[in-house]
Structure 1
Amino acid sequence: MKDGPDIARIGALIGDPARANILSALMSGKALTATELAAEAGITGQTASSHLKKLQEGGLLVQAKQGRHRYFTLSGPDVGTTLEALMGLAARKGHLRTRTGPRDPAMRTSRVCYDHLAGDMAVRIFDSLQSRDFLKITQDKGGLGLTASGEDFVTGFGVDLAGLRLSRRPICRACLDWSERRNHLAGALGAALLVRFQEEGWLRREKDSRVVHISSHGHENLNRLFPSSLD
């Protein structure tokens, strides 16, 4: 066996349909119980427990206990980014679910990707930051950073950039959007921007869903703050 990361193990964990459904359900960033995840995956509670144990042992999930309940979340934003990238690969190769529903258009328009915004508005934001030279390629972890003008822009919007730098997480990371098939912004800044948009009241998350609804006021302000060359 050659040395290096064992991607086969990670691939096997994600590749099981039930486990894939469990992981997809946790892409909302919310902590869910084993019972809720069993319902999402369409399996029994006993079977879900077996899958959850494997996902924890593989380092993809973490568990927290609160009273009699156990809650599960993705182990970190890197897992969410990987899952979103796999969704993009599946979409590009035509591996799409045949079952569609009313949520599908909304999911493509705007949704949560673990802890940051995804969908067409998120891609617009990334493109706007890039076109105005607020982003730059770096050799740091994540491969993406802010220029001086980019730092001025995000701090002017109320993002605590100094606080973000205290974390071990990359400030900026490009995350391939599965529906748009172009990049949106992940990393600590992507998460911080989503929080700021919510604080401004520009968007709200749909209960028990990854779907994000942007108000008309929110659209107006986001389009102004992140202009596009296509406008």
Structure 2
Amino acid sequence: MTATEPCAAALASLAALLADETRAGCLLALLDGRAWTAGELARHVRVAPSTLSGHLNRLVAGGLLTTERQGRHRYVRLADARAAQLVEDLAAHLPQDVVVQVPHTLREVRTQSALARGRTCYDHLAGRLGIAVTDALTVRGLLRQDGGFALTDAGLAWFADTGITVDRSTRRPPARACLDWTERRPHLGGGAGAALCRYALETGWCVRLGPGRAVRVTSAGKRALADLLGIDGRTLA
């Protein structure tokens, strides 16, 4: 037995968790960062609740989901940012015509347009909004992209001065590149990306459009992003 075999077996086991359309559908839905009930997920992936239960148990046992009960409801969510990163990174490698399918109804057109304009990627901003923020931080010397994403000293100061608290007490990196599946370019993830997204929603710079992942930049948000980062609000429309 070689020293790499245990690692290979564990990797194969993890891959097997994702090698099922129902489980993959659950993971993609949970990228919105919310906790879903088992019933909501069952309806979303179009399987019976009894069928979904076995899939959820496997995902929880595999460390990709965490679960909690409130009354008679069972809630599940992605286990952590690492689980979300795994799913998002894999989705970014899918062919563009699979990820962005041709809409057939006006509702699908509006949904797809809203997601491309701005959305959450688990706990940070994505779409054209996420790319615009990432580019603005980079142009101003607040974020480096050479050799991976990293906040500069000026960037750390900017977050602090703006009142956006980046939690540096965890093992999560302050900044990491996350490949955007609509723009096909990296946007800001990591602790700083999560802090910025949370701040934008708490202050009303952005608002969620319904229960999904789409977000819209408000008038106040456009003014703030223009003042702080020089982002032209017309690029976010």
Instruction: Check conservation: 1:172, 1:189, Cα contact below 8 A.
Output: yes
Secondary structure in 1 matching 2:98: coil
Secondary structure in 2 matching 1:95: helix
Q: Which residue does 1:205 correspond to in 2?
A: 208
Q: Deviations over 1:27-80 (max 9, x none)?
A: 111001110110111110011101101111111101012222211000111111
Q: Which residue does 1:152 correspond to in 2?
A: 157
Matched, 1:106 2:111: no
Instruction: Check conservation: 1:133, 1:147, Cα contact below 8 A.
Output: yes
Gaps of 5+ in 2: none
Secondary structure in 1 matching 2:188: strand
RMSD, aligned CA: 2.4
Normalized per residue, which structure has more helix? 2
Q: Which residue does 1:179 correspond to in 2?
A: 182
Give structure 1 regions of 4+ aligned residues with deviation exceeding 4 angstroms.
none
Instruction: Check conservation: 2:225, 2:231, Cα contact below 8 A.
Output: no
TM-score w.r.t. structure 1 length? 0.88
Alpha-carbon distance between aligned partners in 1 of 2:146 and 2:117, rounded to the nearest angstrom = 30
Instruction: Check conservation: 2:84, 2:122, Cα contact below 8 A.
Output: yes
Secondary structure in 2 matching 1:106: helix
Tell me the number of residue pairs that the alignment of Structure 1 and Structure 2 aligns. 225
Instruction: Check conservation: 2:100, 2:182, Cα contact below 8 A.
Output: no
AA paired with 1:118?
A
- After TM superposition, list the pairs within 5 Å mapping 1:4-153 onto structure 2: 4=7, 6-92=10-96, 94-96=97-99, 98=101, 100=103, 101=108, 102-136=110-144, 144-153=149-158
Most deviating of 201-210 and 219-228: 219-228
Residues 97 and 127 (structure 1), Cα distance of their counterparts in 2 relative to 1, 3 Å cut: closer
AA paired with 2:221?
G
Q: Deviations over 1:99-147 (max 9, x none)?
A: 63131111111111111111111111111212222124699xxx53321
Gaps of 5+ in 1: none
TM-score w.r.t. structure 2 length? 0.86
